[in-house]
């Protein structure tokens, strides 16, 4: 392959996994505050298949070349003229700023979105982290900081429920909720219960056996990772002043984002993850201290991105799925 081209997975249209194919495309250039990263592994997230299916049309339809993927881990091979914090040869991980670009041999990463990789993680493990763990840290930190001082529980006795605890975001959320000093209830199917306990959950609810929303006044924060419930359905399961946070950015959920339910001070929120090198640096310290770990469901070669998408699209991975970018 010439130095000006690279292998990448390209979405040839909107539709099922079969629209994905591996092609030789132009290698990107960097300038300003951008890094060019030789990608060694790329994370696969549900947003990737949603965009592939056309959830962001017409914006994505305007893009000439659609290379899916928002998470990368690899080595810096070139830096823009205004980059100050990174050099060629650094091992980094990052969440890309747009919705495209990760499933390729090279990707452009904003300096502020990147962080040195945790030294004890492989490229595959590191690529599993950015979008999912950033979602978990930003959602939980935001909700715990927003709890009113006069809410029912003292800070050390706060209870957090994670709905969807054994998937990509959930496995990080359970660990982070414990690190933030809360008592954790994990909601998942029976086959994920052992994993949730290993990650630190003190209580596990099998959603096929029990509806957590019926547990009145129990939780300070409900993090609806699966995004299949609503503030209205979960409101009574919150303690006074409690907060429901969902990953599902639909209009009805945004309504509760700006309103507070009259009378009881319970709130609904929507998390929208943003790239943050600073938060990735915090996560790096937690991995290196042995306080967090990555749960990898499976690793596919880049050429098998379609199979990886079909797997994620089932909605039941155990932890994360990543693509290994050899060559």
How far apart are CB 47 and ligand NAP at their closest, in Å?
A: 5
Phi, psi at residue 9, to the nearest 5°?
-90, 130
DSSP per residue, 150-183: TSSS-GGG-EEEEESTTSHHHHHHHHHHHHTT-E
C-beta closer to ligand NAP: residue 32 or 315? 315
How far apart are CB 16 and ligand NAP at their closest, in Å?
A: 17
C-beta closer to ligand NAP: residue 7 or 318? 318
How far apart are CB 23 and ligand NAP at their closest, in Å?
A: 26
C-beta closer to ligand NAP: residue 90 or 230? 230
Residue with the two structure tokens 């994670």 = 162
Cβ(146)–Cβ(155) below 8 Å: no
Q: Which residues bind ligand NAP (CB under 6 A)?
A: 45-47, 131-132, 135, 163-164, 166-170, 187-189, 192, 207, 225-228, 247, 249, 271-273, 312, 315-317
Give me the residue whose beta carbon is nearest to ligand NAP. 167
Q: How far is CA 154 from CA 37, 115, 138, 238, 255, in A?
A: 45, 34, 21, 15, 29
Helices (H) and strands (E) in the chain, counts: 9, 15
Cβ(32)–Cβ(82) below 8 Å: yes
C-beta closer to ligand NAP: residue 181 or 315? 315
Compute the distance between CA of residue 316 and CA of residue 140 in angstroms, rounded to an integer. Answer: 22
How far apart are CB 28 and ligand NAP at their closest, in Å?
A: 25
How far apart are CB 17 and ligand NAP at their closest, in Å?
A: 15
C-beta closer to ligand NAP: residue 110 or 241? 110
């Amino acid at each position: 392959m010439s130095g000006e081209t690279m292998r990448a997975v390209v979405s040839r249209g909107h539709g099922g996994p079969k629209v994905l194919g591996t092609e030789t495309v132009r290698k990107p250039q960097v300038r300003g505050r951008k890094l060019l990263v030789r990608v060694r592994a790329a994370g696969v997230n549900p947003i990737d298949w949603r965009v592939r299916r056309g959830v962001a049309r017409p914006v994505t339809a305007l893009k000439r070349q659609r290379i899916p993927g928002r998470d990368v881990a690899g080595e810096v091979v070139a830096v823009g003229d205004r980059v100050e914090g990174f050099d060629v040869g650094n091992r980094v991980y990052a969440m890309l700023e747009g919705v495209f670009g990760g499933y390729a041999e090279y990707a452009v990463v904003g300096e502020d979105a990147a962080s040195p990789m945790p030294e004890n993680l492989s490229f595959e493990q590191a690529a599993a982290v950015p979008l999912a763990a950033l979602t978990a840290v930003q959602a939980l930190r935001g909700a715990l900081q927003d709890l009113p001082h006069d809410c029912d529980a003292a800070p050390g006795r706060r209870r957090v429920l994670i709905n969807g605890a054994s998937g990509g975001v959930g496995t990080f959320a359970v660990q982070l909720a414990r690190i933030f000093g809360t008592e954790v209830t994990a909601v998942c199917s029976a086959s994920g219960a052992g994993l949730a306990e290993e990650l630190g959950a003190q209580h596990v609810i099998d959603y096929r056996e029990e509806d957590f929303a019926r547990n009145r006044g129990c939780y300070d924060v409900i993090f609806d990772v699966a995004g299949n419930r609503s503030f209205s359905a979960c409101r009574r399961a919150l303690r006074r002043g409690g907060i429901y946070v969902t990953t599902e950015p639909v209009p009805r959920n945004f309504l509760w984002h700006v309103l507070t339910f009259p009378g009881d001070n319970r709130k609904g929120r929507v998390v929208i993850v943003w790239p943050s090198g600073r938060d990735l640096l915090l996560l790096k310290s937690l991995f290196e201290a042995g306080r967090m770990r990555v749960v990898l469901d499976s690793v596919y070669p880049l050429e098998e991105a379609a199979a990886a998408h079909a797997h994620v699209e089932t909605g039941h991975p155990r932890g994360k799925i990543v693509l290994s970018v050899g060559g």
